[in-house]
Structure formats: structure tokens, C-alpha cells
Structure 1
Amino acid sequence: MRKKKVLLVLLLISQFIVLAQDYKFGKVSKEELKEKFYPLDSTADAAYLYKSRRTYYDYVQNMGFQLVTEIHERVKIYTKEGFDMATKAIVYYTPESGEDERVNSIKGYTFNLVGNKIQKEKLSQKSVFREQLNRFRTSKKITMPKIKEGSVIEIKYKLISPYIQSINDFHFQHHIPVKKLEAQVEIPEYFVFNKKTIGYYNVKLIKESKGGRIGDTQYGVNVFKFDEDNIPALKNDEPFVSNISNYRAGMKFELTQMNFISIGGDFKTFSSSWSNVSKQIYKSSSFGGELSKSGYYKDDLEKILTENTTETDKLLAVFQFIKGKVKWNEYYGIYSDKGVRKAYKDRVGNVADINLMLTSMLRSAGLNANPVLVSTRNNGVPVFPTIDGFNYVISMVELTNRGYVLLDATEPYSTPNILPKRTLNWNGRKITKEGNSSWVKLTSSKPAAEDNNLMVTISKDLLVTGLFRTKYFNLSGLTYRKNHNHLTEESVINSLEEKNNLEIEEFKLINENLIGKPVIRNVKFSSDNLVESINGKIYLEPMLFLTQHTNPFKLAGRKFPVDFTTPWKVKNMVSIKIPKGYKVEKLPESIAVGLPENLGVFKFKVKESGGKINTICVLQFNNAIIAPQYYNALKDFYGQIVKKQSEKIVLVKQ
């Protein structure tokens, strides 16, 4: 019987793989439309039934080579949560000067099964919208018509680029499964690219060759093919992931040289080292050129320097001045958008406008300041020297005999060496006006820290009342201000009450706008849900509403690292006054647990003293990143935390 069941499952899977092999655009089968769920992952809200990409070089007379990418995608929508797959944004390069990339030949259909007939709805050009994202990027937004559960949507388009040096990354794995993948890139012999596999799911590369022609001249073409069935989704099922896209299967191409000597052209090399990349960026008029400008802030700087003479005072004064002078428009970029003079005048600019301005002003104040190139957390980690690998810039000041300070004036709540989370990714690349460059650690040596102090009493009717004080330090302080300072006090109180099941009687914030000091939150509260009485005994958890009840790590294994963004520490001190007429029958035992390689530690101690039960609990991680090989140790570590914190204090009547 068991063999028959196995054979039946294999037969069903084989039929699924064979089904609908005709991926001709505009031809969808009834079987695809009838499918109620993805056979290999019933939790999928949608799936790529077919995903095809072909990238190749096309020679145009009197224009030369251009880079062409053809896309064909067929998506099955199973649930309402999959409706977001019916909206697509195609981003392309449109500089203010120079040629634009073009998105052509957009075609699309939505297929639905009505009765026993296939209903086919054509994408209208009225549903294709053009949106200017910034000075360099534009988006074609496509909204597919008549979407419902069970729909199949199909889209096809062509991206044509005059920028032949850059092949967009190939992505093989997504947040939904891919039933059938076909992809290839065709590269003439005149171009040499580095290739880098990314992600943890292996898609086999097949290399072939064919011929090409320019007039009477023949040349060789290297063809790299990828053909794969049933690629599983890579889902972000757990917390502490910086950018899930960093771990999706794919292939990166980076141009290292162009050699047209055989047909009377030039030989050029590109991005051969991080040093060359840094120099190339610095030479740009929108980078180094903007750094050299200083006249527009001269009068304001003179006023600042009359009151600030030491290195530290100059640094802090200029930093605070720029933060207050120019507001960030939420645009990233390593190049100035509107130019530093205009950004200064208009009091608004992109990342580069603001932090290049900051760097220039710090230099003019006599400080050793340089820009630092950054790839933000949502941009991924550059795997080899590439200009496109960086999308952000901050400022760095090297103090006399006192190390260095990193600054980001786009973030109102940042302080020296406490950068916003978006920048804390890998290392930054410092570049100097002399053309030198080097790596810089971005993560602060100061851990994000939170101290909780909880003092409570228990009435005879088991009502818990008390005071709750929290201090937020470093990145924790920045994060609290960023998440709460724009909210009303009422909404903050309501959120805190709902989260911890409390009734808040008094609420006070201290230092919410004093950026250099920790945020302090004082709360007076009561709750009738923290203590349980059974057969005359009182049961309560030592940390009350601060108890961690669930382990965030549940997978059997994890292929990518746990990313906490920064080292961090939470210290909880809880004091519970023993109610009159009761005594302690049982207290949880103390424990101290460490992770391998001094990655982290958990300490928990409960003791009775002077009519009170005092608990001290410390959870500390010394590294921002926990490598995959330590995942099971981390999972067990958190398991012990949950178990220990959930143990009960037992009080009995005297």
C-alpha cells in the first residue's frame, strides 16, 4: 500500500512538471486556470508558472552595440494576498543628460475561467503609468486588469539600453515559487565580464557559443544559459534578516574589459579594484566637484567658528547646523541631485547633497573630513568592485589621536558614531581627495541598549500596581525617537497599554529631543492580568509583562545569517513587594548561559530580600551578525531564555 502511495505522489508531481509546457505568449491552458493551489507549496499565494529572460547585444548601424533584455512572465494568483503580483514596476535609467533607456513592446493579458470558457482581458496602455523617481530613474508602472483569485496574468516587454557596460543582475529565486525558469545572456567576444553566483539555491549554468556579424565581420558570442524547474520560494519566515534579496539565487555580471582592437577600436578596463572604483566616483562633478564648493556657506560657517574652537565643538556644531539647515527628501544616491548650492538654498536635498555638504563644511572648519561610500541594507552587499554597489554616502572625521567619527546629517535623531539602521550594512569605503581609499567599519562600538526598571506591589485582590522606567541608549534611542516622536502622547500610551495589557495612569518622557542623552520613559500603571491565584497560592512570572514567551527562531536550520543590525543589550530589573500575609514557597533558580565564540550571554537571577523579590535579567549580543553555523545554538539559547523567564514564583499564605 505504501509503495502505491509513493508511486501516486511521484506520478502527480511528474504530471505537474509536464503540464502546460507550451509557454507561447497569450496561450494559457484551462488546467492552469483550474489549479487551486501550487502543488509543491500549498502555502504559496502566487507562483511564476513561467519566467523567461533573454539579454543580448544588438548592433545598430551608425550607433554601435546596445543592450537588449526581453522579459516574459506568466503568474498564477491563488489568493487575494497574491494580488500584488498584478502590479509591476519596471525601473529604467533616464539621466538629465545623455541617452535614456527605453521600455518598449509592453504587452499583457489577464486570463480567467468563466464557466468552462477562458476569458482573456488585454492590458490597456491606459493602465501603464510613467513615474519619475529621481534625476536618474524612471518607472513604468503596470496594473493588470480584472484580477481575482484563480487568475493567470501574463506580461511581456523589452528593455533597451545604450549603456552596454552594465548587465542587470539575474534573479532566479523569489518570494513565490518558480515552476519553469529559462534565462540566458549572450555576450560578444569584445566584452569580458566577471560572473558571480549569489544565494544558496544552485541553478546550473550551461555555457554555449554562437556566431555574430557586423557587416562582413564575424565574431564569437558566449551564451550563458539557465534552465530550471520547480525553484522553491525564499520566504522571510523569521526575524532579523537584513535584506532577503541578498540570499536569493541569482547571477551577477560585472564588466572588466572591452576589447575592440581587432575591429580598429579601443581597449578599456573597468572596475578592476575598489581603489579604481573610488577614484572614478570621486572624479565625478556630482561628487568631488560638489565637495570642492564652499562659498555658499562661508558666512554661516564663520558664525559657527566664532563660538566653537576645539575639534569636538566644531564637529558637533557643524553637524547640528546641517541637520537643521537641510531636510532629507528621502532619495538615496552617491551623487548630488540638484547640487549642494541649490540644496542649501532650498533647504532640501538627497543623501549626497546633504552629506557632501557636511563633509565640505567640516573640511573648511579645519577638520580632517572625508566622504564614505555605503551600500544600504536594502541595496545588498557588493560582491566585487562596482560603482553600482554603492547607493549612499556619509561623512567621516578623523580626530587628532582620538580615532574617527561617522556622521549622517540626513537623520534628525542621529549622533556621532550612531548611524541610522539603513546604513549599517557591511563596511563603508572612505575616499580622500588624494585618491586614496580604504574600508571603514560602520557598526558602532557602543551597543544599542535598553534598561528596564520595574517596581510593583500586589494588593489583596491581586491588582498589580507599580512604576516602570525605561532608558534607551545609542541606536535604541535613535530608533525610539524615530518611531515615536511624531506620534501623539495618547497614541503612544494606547500602544503601550495594548502591548503589555496595562492601564496607564501617568506617562512622562524625558530627553525625547535631547539627542545626546538617553530617552527616558516613566510610566505609572496597574494591571489585573499579571497574577494568578490557585488554591490559595499566588503564581506570577518574575519579569511580569517583560517576559519573553516565544522563541523567534523556529526553523530546523537557516542558510543565511541572523542579522541584529548592531550589538545590543537589554537589562531588566524587577522588584516585587511580597503581599502582606504571604511568603515565598518557590523561586526560579538562577542561570547563566553563553553562546559559542562569546557571541552572546543570558544571565537570570531571582532572590528574596527585605520583603521583596528582586530579579535581574540581562540579554546581550556582542556581534551584530550570527553566522548560519551557530543558528541551532542560537535557537537552543532562546529556548532556554523562554523556559527560564516563564518559570513561576509561587507565594503561599503564612
Structure 2
Amino acid sequence: MKKTILIILLFNSIIITAQSSFNSEDLKVTKSDLTINTYEKDSTANALVLYEQGNSYFDKKDFILKTEVKHKVKILNREGFDNANVKIYLYNDDNNNKKEKVEDIIATTYNLIDKVVITTRLKKADVFEEKYNDNTTLIKFTLPNIKEGSVIVYSYTLISPFMFKYKDWRFQDDIPKLYSEYRASIPGNWIFHKKLVGGKKLAVSTIEIKKDCLTTYNGGSADCEESVYAMKDIPAFISEDYMTAESNYLARIEYELETIRGMDGRISHYTKTWETVDKEFRTDGDIGRQLKKSVDAEKLLSQDIFNEPDTLKKAKAIFNYLQEDYTWNEKYRIFKDVSVKDLINDKSGNVSSINILLHNLLEESGIDVKPILLSTRNNGFATKLYPVISDFNYLIVQVTINKKTYFLDATDKYLSFGEIPFRCLNEYGRLLDFKEGSKWIDIKPSKKSSIMYNVDIHFDEEQNLVGKVKNRLTGYHALHAKKSYYPSEDGYLNKLENNSPFIEISNHEVTSKGKTSDKFSESYDIEYNIDEINQTLYLNPFIVKFFAENPFKLQERTYPIDFGYKDNYLYSFKLSLGENYSVKEMPKEIRLTLPNDAGNLSFASKMVGNDLHLLFKIDFKAPVYPAEYYPYLKELMSKIVDIQKNSLIVLNKT
């Protein structure tokens, strides 16, 4: 009898049918949800969202924003257990004594054990609260009794007094989802900008107007825009090399408050125009005032710099002075704690302080200079739809000399004039011009970055294989090398030798001019450690490998491949055979080209007299490639790695 009652109770809480697929229509847990333990569309998935829903609305009683959140997740294997750890972040505004809170947390784990469904509920005592930072409280809990094959269902309600901060919804995450839905009810007197991010199409997108959905105590009322947005079969988002911030590509919907029309007729605008923002910047207590701050250029600069008649030389000298005399404290603040005076006194400051001082010294010297606000690669793209000042976290300057423009950033002591840090290569920025008005501009390097190696080897009198290597790096490849070499020459050499264990290096010399040079050039002598087997030598010609492994490993990539800059690679190899060896085998010619000639590689070998010549060239002609290029780039990289690793020259002793 007890067993019969138990089964009846279980049938009331769970639907057990003959389904052969997951239930992605609601929170009900089906037999298939519990018995199917693989996801055919993604064999690498450790967990799978079967169904989730968010529902945001303004409560009619107390006029606060409520969001009901529901999730049903399948745990496919042990690696997916972490999805049973739930974190909820609540915003606090201590200055106004307001804070978000969460109510009605319900969480249940479902397991199928010996054909019996076992449910385990989360206890209230297992919900924990802690301070995350000054403005955020963290609520966290872990679903109980998690096993491989478990299905977890949890729900809660977010309560927010911040009506201007409408709930965003993320359709995509690091595990795949079968169905994700968001419902939003917004009174007509609240006007929001809506932005769909990530480039994925909505499976459901409906909007209806509900009459008199909200009424006030004095008889005022408002209609509501009630929208439903949903996506189906959403792939997991997996990060990989050569990308900017995840936030640029994760499928989601965002809301930005534009205007509130009060029941009493008053109108408050929250989203501003760029014209309004430009006016505010002119009088801003930090950036605006600091940009207009007068500096004593004659006192700060040496007489040689101050009296330099050539404008370009003078700009370069001022830039180098900032690099040498001031140190970036690695803080990105651009709207707070900006002080040119404190920077001059302390010799250290944040991004804005350093580059505003650069701006002001250039301006005092009669040079055309303007500030640029931008968002760094890790910070995500700044929206272009309307001004969102919080999107920006960095400031550089633009100089125009003899009709040519240069981007400058004095925070990095290794940058050459006209070069900005890699972190700033995030496609575009906002040029501030307080006379003509601000505008969007592209942030792209003016030149390609390149790596060029020339290897020339021969057999000496003792039949040792020796030679010389010369290389030249430009652009961001040079910047990386300078940052590796100048702080520690010994460490650089050790790394160089470890990267090529079959050679010995001697007489190393850097021939480029200093750490702010626009290139890095070096040369060194080498001797191969190679064994002769039955009068035959086997030689891999690549003492340097441009790519040690293929960085592209995904089955499919749905976001762009962002290198940040155009670049090319050249490896030239010459082997003088002398009289004692002849070539038995040499690498075959290979050519591969990306669609639309957007990039290519070529590898060729030939004999010229008694010399063997190899030439290996790679050219990436675009800084950013659309996702459609991914399979072609993956194939190209695979071929590059294979050529470097497996190319072989076979020599016979004559």
C-alpha cells in the first residue's frame, strides 16, 4: 500500500510518458528528461538547459519591478555538476537605502533510481547570502543530491525598486539550451531602448498592448507593452583564441531607459543625445575640466623639446617624455580620480590622467590633438545606438600633423609613436571635438605587423651544420618581443634556446634601436645538434615555429575571428650543401588561399646550384574575419602547424 501511494504521489509531481525526446515546453519533468543522457546536437555538452523562462512586470500594488525566473536543466555527466551551483547577484544602492532582494526560492533535484523517481528539495538553511562588493549582494545555493542524469528545476522571484534598471535576459550561455523565453510587460509611460545582441534570430517575437494594465491611487492609468521573445536550439557559447569580450557575442536582449512620462504629466529624459553629452563633457568635473587645464609646457619640457621647430619631431619628443617620466598605475578609470596636477606631483596615475596630460602638452605646443573615448577589447563594444557613457573605460588621443593622423597612448613604455596597446584594438571609438561635435571613428593600426626570419646554414670544415639567423619583427609582433627582451635579456635567451632544443645559440645581438623602436631586429649564430643515421641526415628546417598548435579547435564558431591587426609571416631558409652531401628528399610545394583572397600560405623548395632554398609565407589580409571564414582558417592553421612540424629535408652523404 505504501509503495502504491508513493507511486501515485510521484505521478502527481512528474509526468512519465513514452516520450523519446526532452520536454522543452515547460518545467514538467518527463521520463525522457530523466532517461536520455546524451545531446545529439552537441556530443561535448556536459549539461543542457531543457527549458527556461523569465517574466518581468511592474507590480500593481507597490509599483516595483518583479522578475519571475524558472530553469530546468539536465545534468549529462559529472563535468556538468557545476550547473547545480546557482548564484544570484542583487544590486544595492546604500546612498538611497534601496536594494534588490529575492523571494520564493524553490529548487528540486529529480533522479531516476531503479525505475523509481526520487525528488530532493532544497532546504531554506542551504541558501546563503554574502557581500560580493560594495554594491552587490550574492545569493547562492547548490541543488542537493546531484548525480549523472539528474534533472534540476529551480525558480525564484527578483524584487527590484530600481525601475530604471529593467531586467536583461541572456538567451545563450556556456551550455546549450533547447528553449529560452523572456516575457516583458512595460507600462507605456516608461520608454526603453531595446537591443538584441549576438546576431541570433528569435524563434518567437510578439508584442501586444494591454489596456489599463497599471493604475495609480489618484486614478491615473497606463497601457502596457507586453512582449514575448524566445530562442530555440541555442548552441553553447565556447570561448576561443582571437576574440574580443564574450559580451559582444552572447545572444541576449538588453533594455536602456530613455524617458519616463509621469502620471502627473512630467517628463524625465534618461537617454541623452551625443550633442547633450558633448556639452556635459565640456563642463565635466573630471575629464572636461582636466582637458582644459593649462599646463606649463616650458617648465615641464626640456628646452630642446620646447624649442623644436619640426612639429612631428616635437610631438614624438613630448610623447617620449610622458612615456619615460610617468608611470601608469594600471587603473582604467576615465571618469573618476582624474587629476593632471596629482599626476605631475606623483609621477604616476590612471589612463585618463596620463593621456590628458599628453593631450594638454601637445595642445600647448600648438599641435592639433583631440581625445578619444573607447572601450577595450575585454570590456566589450560600446553601443552606437545611443550614448551609454558607462560603456567606455579608456581614453587615448589623436594627433594630426601634416594631414596625417596618429593614435597615441603614453601608458606603455614600449610603444612606438603612432602605436596604441593591443587592448585598445576594439574596432572603434568616440572622437571628442568640443567645437564641431563628437563622432565615431575606426580604431585600426595603420600598418601590418610582420615577422621575417632568414636562416642561412652550411657545413663547416668539421662537417658540423652551422649558420646564422637574422630576423625582423614589426608592429605588435615587435612590441611583444621588446617586452620579453628588455626587462630580462638572459630570460629572453633562455626562452629562445628552449624553443629550439636541437640548436645551440651564440653571439646573440639585437640590432634595432631601443624599446620604443617600431621594429625588433636580432641576429645570432646557430649550430645544429643532429645525428647521422647510416650516412643519412634528417633535418627539420624550422628552428622557429610561428604557431606551435592550431588555436582553432571548435566544431563550429559563431562569432568573428578577431586578430586585431593585419599581419604576415615570412621564413626564408638556405642550406649550402658543400661537397659531402646531396639532397635525397625535400618538402613538396603547398599553396592554400582563403575565400575572396582574404589570406594565403605558400611553401616552396628548390635547388639553386648546390644550395637548397625554402620559402614559407603566411598572409592574413584582414584584422577581423566573419564567422563564415572559420572552417577555412581552421584548415589553414592546421596546414601551417603541419608544415612547421613535419617538413623534412633528407640528405645523403656522398
Same fold? TM cut 0.5: yes
One-letter identity of the residue aligned with 2:247:
S
Contact 1:34 1:113 in 2 (8 A): no
Shift of 1:205: 2.0
Partner residue in 1 for 2:412: 411
Q: Shift of residue 36 of structure 1?
A: 6.4
1:185-214 deviation digits (Å, cap 9, x = unpaired): 322212333433222432322323331122
Give the 3 Å change call, closer, same or farther, for CA 503–539 of structure 1 in structure 2. closer
Instruction: State the shift of 1:502 in Å.
Output: 3.9
Shift of 1:316: 2.6
Distance between the aligned counterparts of 1:208 and 1:631, measured in 2?
Answer: 40
1:444 aligns to 2:468 (yes or no): no
Query: In the alignment, what sits opposite 1:567?
Result: 566
Superposed CA RMSD in Å reads: 4.5
In 1, the alpha carbon distance for the partners of 2:205 and 2:344 equals 50
Distance 1:367 1:393, change over 3 A: farther
What is the total number of aligned residue pairs between the two structures?
Answer: 622
Q: Cα distance 1:323–1:13, how it changes in 2: closer, same or farther (>3 A)?
A: farther
Moved more, 185-194 or 152-161: 152-161
Cα deviation code 1:304-331 (max 9, x no counterpart): 8546453224323333333345443434
Q: Which of residues 238, 252, 262 in structure 2 aligns to 1:235?
A: 238
TM superposition shift of 1:233: 0.7
1:432 Cα deviation (Å)?
Answer: 1.2
**In structure 2, distance between residues paired with 1:633 and 1:359:** 43
C-alpha displacement of 1:117? 7.5
Alignment of 1:218-617 (within 5 A): 218-228=221-231, 230-236=233-239, 238-260=240-262, 263-266=264-267, 268=269, 270-272=271-273, 274=274, 277-294=277-294, 299-301=299-301, 305-306=305-306, 308-381=308-381, 382-388=383-389, 390-457=391-458, 466-482=467-483, 489-490=490-491, 492-493=492-493, 495-502=495-502, 504-506=504-506, 508=508, 510=510, 514-522=515-523, 528=529, 537-543=536-542, 545-546=544-545, 552-553=551-552, 558-578=557-577, 581-588=580-587, 590=589, 594-609=593-608, 611-617=610-616
In 2, Cα distance between the equivalents of 1:298 and 1:76?
A: 69
Cα offsets for 1:469-516 (capped at 9, x unmatched)? 4432221122334466666834x4555455444455548573695212
Deviation sequence 1:347-373 (CA, Å, 0-9, x none): 444333332333233222322211112
- SS state at 1:378 partner: helix
Equivalent residues in 2 for 1:63-78, closer than 5 Å: 78=77
| Residue 130 (structure 1) shift | 2.9
Which one is further off, 595-604 or 412-421?
Answer: 595-604
Matches within 5 A, 1:639-654: 641=640, 646-654=646-654
Q: Taking structure 1 as reference, are residues 254 and 145 closer, same or farther at Cα in structure 2, changes over 3 Å only?
A: closer
Q: How far off its partner does 1:395 sit?
A: 3.0
Tell me, yes or no, if structure 1 residue 173 matches structure 2 residue 176: no
| Partner-residue secondary structure (3-state), 1:320 | helix
SS in 2 for 1:412: coil
In structure 2, runs of 5+ residues without a counterpart are: 1-16
**CA distance 1:178–1:99, change in 2 (3 Å):** farther
- 1: CA distance, partners of 2:309 / 2:406: 18
Residues 127 and 144, structure 1, Cα contact 8 Å, conserved in 2: no
Partner of 1:104: 101
- Mark the CA change 1:101 to 1:71 in structure 2 (over 3 Å): closer, same or farther: farther
How much has 1:608 moved relative to structure 2? Answer: 2.8
Distance change (3 Å), C-alpha of 1:485 and 1:458: same
SS of equivalent to 2:517? coil
Deviation string 1:383-403 (CA, Å, 9 cap, x unpaired) is 522324742333334334241
Q: Indicate if the aligned counterparts of 1:193 and 1:253 stay in contact, CA closer than 8 A.
A: yes
Q: 1:550 to 1:482 in 2, by over 3 A?
A: closer
Q: Is the 8 A contact 1:460 1:579 kept in 2?
A: no
> Normalising by the residue count of structure 2, what TM-score does the alignment of the two structures yield?
0.78
Distance 1:119 1:438 in 2: 55
Alignment partners' CA distance in 1, 2:329 and 2:69: 33
Q: State the distance in 1 between where 2:98 and 2:315 align.
A: 42
Distance 1:613 1:375 in 2: 49
SS in 2 for 1:546: coil
Return the offset for 1:243. 3.2
CA drift at 1:222: 0.9
Q: Distance in 2 between matches of 1:373 and 1:83?
A: 38
Secondary structure of 1:185's match? strand
Contact 2:22–2:36 (CA under 8 A) maintained in structure 1 = no
Q: Distance in 1 between matches of 2:78 and 2:412?
A: 39
Q: 2: distance between equivalents of 1:384 and 1:642? A: 42
Cα distance change, pair 581–420 in 1 and its aligned pair in 2 (3 A): same
Cα contact 1:277–1:387 (8 A) shared by 2: no
User: How far apart, CA to CA, are the structure 1 residues paired with 2:457 and 2:518?
Assistant: 27
Distance 1:520 1:582 in 2: 32
Query: Who is 1:14 aligned against?
Result: 21
TM-score, structure 1 as length reference? 0.78
Offset, 1:217: 1.0
Residue 468 of structure 1 and its aligned partner are, at CA, apart by 4.0
Q: 1:145 to 1:627 in 2, by over 3 A?
A: closer
Q: CA deviation at 1:265?
A: 0.9
Give the direction of change, closer, same or farther, for the CA distance of 1:76–1:539 in structure 2 (3 Å limit): same
Secondary structure of the equivalent of 1:575?
Answer: strand
- Tell me the distance in 2 between the aligned counterparts of 1:578 and 1:379: 54
Q: State which drifts further: 34-43 or 511-520.
A: 34-43
Q: Specify the structure having the higher radius of gyration (Cα).
A: 2
Report SS of the residue matched to 1:515. Answer: coil
Aligned to 2:189: 190
Q: Is the 8 A contact 1:358 1:395 kept in 2?
A: no
CA separation of 1:58/1:401 partners in 2, compared to 1, >3 Å: closer, same or farther? farther
Q: C-alpha distance in 1, partners of 2:92/2:508?
A: 49
Q: CA offsets, 1:216-245, max 9 Å, x none? A: 211011122234555321223x54223343
> How far apart, in 2, do the equivalents of 1:122 and 1:497 lie?
59
Whether contact under 8 Å (1:472, 1:518) holds in the other structure is yes
- Judged with a 3 Å threshold, the aligned counterparts in structure 2 of structure 1 residues 354 and 41 are, in CA distance, closer, same or farther, namely same
